[in-house]
């Protein structure tokens, strides 16, 4: 898909001095940004789990579930 964006002349000049293909640069940067966003969501979910107050009953239920599932 083709997308049009506006960038300053000095930024375009810098990009052109350092890369051969503007589109590949933009795609690589956006892929990296997307991966970072997805990783941050996983971190946020893990932190939310850490905030849960596990009691002994929940912990034992989790261990039992793990044993039953064979994981």
pTM for this model (two decimals): 0.63
Mark 37-55 as b/e (b = at least 16 C-beta within 10 Å). eeeeeeeeeeeeeeeeeee
- Contact between 25 and 19 under an 8 Å Cβ cutoff? The reply is yes
Mean pLDDT split into 10-residue runs, the chain, 71 residues = 95 97 96 95 85 74 85 62
pLDDT (0 to 100) of residue 41: 93
pLDDT (0 to 100) of residue 71: 62
**Which residues, other chains included, contact 5 with Cβ-Cβ below 8 Å and sequence gap of 6+?**
26
How do the domains of the chain map onto residue ranges? 9-69
Per-residue CA distances from 12 to 5, 8, 16, 32 (Å): 11, 6, 6, 20
């Amino acid at each position: 898909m083709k997308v049009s964006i506006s960038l300053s002349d000095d930024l375009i000049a810098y990009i052109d001095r350092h890369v051969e293909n503007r589109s590949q640069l933009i795609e690589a940067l956006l892929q990296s940004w997307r991966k970072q966003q997805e990783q941050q969501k996983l971190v946020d979910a893990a932190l939310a789990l850490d905030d849960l107050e596990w009691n002994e009953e929940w912990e034992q239920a989790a261990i039992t579930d793990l044993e039953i599932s064979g994981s």
